[in-house]
Amino acid sequence: MPKMKTNKQAARRFKITGSGKILRAKGMKSHKRSKKAPRTKRMFDKMLEVAPQDRQRIRRLLPYGVK
């Protein structure tokens, strides 16, 4: 069976932890950032876990996981 291809766009957007969780970055990070409070800007730096509804779709895009 041939190798499966990793979707490169998804590989740049998502990280997979050692325990198998899929993490994503928050949106709304760049536009009008100067108006946002420092606390809000810091909160954008954290990665969030992907919603359970989307996990299966993302796993299909990343057949070997992402390092």
Q: What is the mean pLDDT of the chain?
A: 92
Q: What is the extent of the structural domain holding 38?
A: 8-61
Report how many domains make up the chain: 1
**Is position 45 within any domain?**
yes
pLDDT at 67: 62
CATH code assigned at 17: 4.10.410.60
Q: Is residue 48 part of a domain?
A: yes
For residue 55, pLDDT over 80 is answered with: yes
Identify the pLDDT of residue 8: 95
- Model pLDDT, residue 23: 96
In a domain, 25, yes or no: yes
pTM: 0.81
Task: Summarize pLDDT for 12-32 with one digit per residue, the tens.
Answer: 999 999 999 999 999 888 888
The predicted pLDDT at position 57 comes to 95
Q: Is 29 inside a domain boundary?
A: yes
Listed residue (22, 3, 35) closest to 65, CA to CA: 22
